[in-house]
Structure 1
């Protein structure tokens, strides 16, 4: 429904649809819209959804240092593991643009490769659904 208006605005603002910045903006907008829609899907009531949306725009930087951040659902070790996971994904993505990771990995010794495979499985088991904090009630599709 909005496509003609979007295209008219892009032409009026002379936006280059093939630029890197435009693609990043599209990804960011899609990400934000999907996450916003998930609020209504996940909230118990509409009142809770609107309360959450209102709270999203209130920021108190003190929570980053006083420990209140860890009362929101993740413990400190889980938070650190999440940050490390994001850092690893970003690092692999950056490396993937510079070298062919698959070929570099396949050139390694069989012992090194199998050690990496087993380490990956072990990490998945430790941090996956077999972890101590796993609960079927917290699974996002449990409400269906």
Structure 2
């Protein structure tokens, strides 16, 4: 009944390099990774979950997280989100957003939580994997 396009598919994508403003760190690049997943109820698109992750990295690892945020855009579902981020000892960066959602279908309230994760690849911070799953 409630369907999420690509909810079980892992997508591997290239992060978009941004203009680097910090001249003192010429070896660093700023990247923006963004992933959007469409949600539908009874085969009608009702909105989308979007996670946006901006970070700095050198050629092999993430060095600093600049932003990590998530947003729901649509109708028929209400909820809230909370975001967290981390960098592993090996330089992998991640942005995790938990969406706590609710909807009323045929008079019955339904609540659920989704976890939307963007995670960079080890040794190649310009590539990332994005997933949306149950939480």
TM-score, normalisation: structure 2: 0.19
Higher-strand-fraction structure: 2
Decide which structure has the larger Cα Rg and report it.
Answer: 1
Higher-helix-fraction structure: 1
Comparing both chains, which one has the higher relative contact order based on Cα–Cα distances under 8 Å and sequence gaps of 6 or more? Answer: 2
TM-score, normalisation: structure 1: 0.18
